[in-house]
Structure 1
Amino acid sequence: MRARAVSLLLALSLSACIHPASRGVGLSDHFRHGLTGWSLEAEAGAAARVRAANGVLDIDTPEGLSLWWKAPITGPVTITFEVMAVQDGGPNDAVSDVNAFWMAHDPSVVSGSPLAHPRSGAFADYDSLQTYYVGIGGNRNTTTRLRRYIGRAGDRPLLPENDRSDPASRLVPNRWTRVRLVADGPRIAVDYAGKRLFALDDAQPYTRGWFAFRTTKSHLRIRHFRIAPRDEPHGD
């Protein structure tokens, strides 16, 4: 009887590991086994280089690009990663656009999955999503913004308090910096380098959706990607 109980517990544990997409939390990618957990949409096609090896995700693209985590995420959730905007003389080393979508869903699809109808990678193609979006160091490292997309083409609402251009909100080239995204019911937040960039109290929060790294005309490196099922303490 004891052996049977142990076998059942082991089976349940393995099932939780094999099917993490059902919850979409408590997940991570150490970027040592390629891009099997991701789906790429790149405006530049083959000219965009995206590689995952030796613990680092390397994105080098001359145009718009979105890299989607394939598993849906259900809140409350905290997404963390470390990012470096590379500047070493390459053609795309503009130090710009460490961006992300989170809790994204497509209202035109029954499943809500943005992956049901792949997009070109052009920024305007994502206007139809309902999602949270942050752009750190956008517009050639001059703006940092938080938006709540409402699923309407050509409409990317932006509150004045969620539009920053101060030095603390910009990218520093060739430095690993921690980013933390929170979706905890109505409490939406973005931390950067251990400090709070944005806090949004959303009366109609997006509580389930998908995550994507987003950038354009840039060279980024990312490591230590993690999706946690609760609001973890922040800091570098």
Structure 2
Amino acid sequence: MHRDDFKNTENWLTELESGGSVTARNGKLSIDVPRGCTVWFRHELVGPLVIEYEAMAVAKGGLNDRVSDLNCFWMSQDDPSKVKRNGTFASYDMLRCYYVGLGGNANTTTRFRRYIGQAGNRPLLPEHDLSAPEFLLKPNTPQKIRIVANGKHIEYARDGKTLFTYDDPEPYVCGWFGLRTVASHLEIQKFRVWQG
């Protein structure tokens, strides 16, 4: 359905809390930011589908090379070209979408949430709150992310291992995808969306 090998950033919209850079070079999208940032894919996605990409948390001595927050939203009901946000995490509370925070909170948690469009309310089930080392980020280590949105069946996997599955009685079946991070340096490549 879609692919991006990051020759440029024309397929993406960036929301920055406090500066930083989002650039495309050598087949990689580099997100290098001192505070919050969300980078939205411009095209609405319609399920059933599979989203795949490779990602790495960079730790090579750069100013923002903090290994944390390889996060994403998917099936967001708000068109990011029409609803602008300021990059702070709280500004996304009103979304209706799915979200995974991989290595969040300074790489101490990995969490799945189903956003319901209520300020201050980001529901979190106990089984979707992971903190064991195998669920966190390793610096400078490429990893393959795979997201499934197939009607009620929602799934998030890393390197072939499923971290979260969710059977949604009222699924979000279309919407927008966004990469999210806070005070870190990420590299993204080989972005693909498949009909699922």
Which TM class, normalised by the smaller chain length?
over 0.9
Residues 74-223 of structure 1 mapped to structure 2, 5 A cutoff: 74-106=46-78, 113-223=79-189
How much does 1:114 deviate? 3.5
Contact kept, 8 Å, 1:96 with 1:137, in 2: the verdict is yes
TM-score under structure 1 length normalisation: 0.82
Which position in structure 2 is the counterpart of 1:16? none
Instruction: Please tell me whether residue 39 in structure 1 is matched to residue 13 in structure 2.
Output: yes
SS in structure 1 at match of 2:105: helix
Partner amino acid, structure 2, of 1:202: D
What runs of 5+ residues in structure 2 fail to find an aligned partner? Answer: none
Which position in structure 1 is the counterpart of 2:191? 225
Alignment size in residue pairs: 196
How much does 1:156 deviate? 0.1
Partner amino acid, structure 1, of 2:43: A
In the alignment, the residues of structure 1 paired with residue 186 and residue 176 of structure 2 have an alpha-carbon distance, to the nearest angstrom, of 21
Of all paired residues, the percent bearing the same amino acid is: 49
Partner amino acid, structure 2, of 1:30: D
Partner amino acid, structure 1, of 2:11: G
SS in structure 1 at match of 2:33: strand
SS in structure 2 at match of 1:140: helix
Residue deviations 1:11-54 (CA, integer Å, cap 9, x gap): xxxxxxxxxxxxxxx1010011x11111110001xx31111111
Higher strand share: 2
SS in structure 1 at match of 2:43: coil
In the alignment, the residues of structure 1 paired with residue 96 and residue 186 of structure 2 have an alpha-carbon distance, to the nearest angstrom, of 25
Instruction: Please tell me whether residue 53 in structure 1 is matched to residue 19 in structure 2.
Output: no
Q: What RMSD over aligned residues (CA atoms) do the two structures have, in Å?
A: 0.8
Structure 1 runs (4+) deviating above 2 angstroms are none
TM-score under structure 2 length normalisation: 0.98
In the alignment, the residues of structure 1 paired with residue 132 and residue 156 of structure 2 have an alpha-carbon distance, to the nearest angstrom, of 16
- Higher RCO, Cα 8 Å, sep 6+: 2
Higher helix share: 1
